[in-house]
Amino acid sequence: MSQSLKAAGKPMEWQQPLEELVARESSFNPNAKNPTSTAAGLYQFLNGTRKNYGGNSVDWSDPYQQASKGLQYVIDRYGDPYKALKFWDKNKWY
């Protein structure tokens, strides 16, 4: 996660809340799959979300690429991981 933060030029303080999100979503398992949906990977991207973040041009089995795309998703949808965690706390998903 720290590599994706550095590459994106984002503050290292974001690492802790991002790790908390990933712990809740996939327990840090890049191969995690939700048995009741298409959610998969560290950030539990749905098929539609993966499509919006590179689709087949991304190696979704690569944890670094999952972390980079997950960070971008958090920024795009919530602005920062603190807001994403706050949403997760309220809704039990993000």
Distance (Å, whole) CA 3 – CA 92: 27
Q: How many domains does the chain have?
A: 1
pLDDT single digits (tens) 43-61: 999 999 999 999 999 999 9
Q: In sequence order, which residues have a C-beta less than 8 Å from that of residue 13 and are 6 or more positions away?
A: none
Domain holding 78, by residue range, is 2-91
Read off the CATH number of the domain in which 18 is found.
1.10.530.10
pLDDT at 1: 83
pLDDT at 65: 96
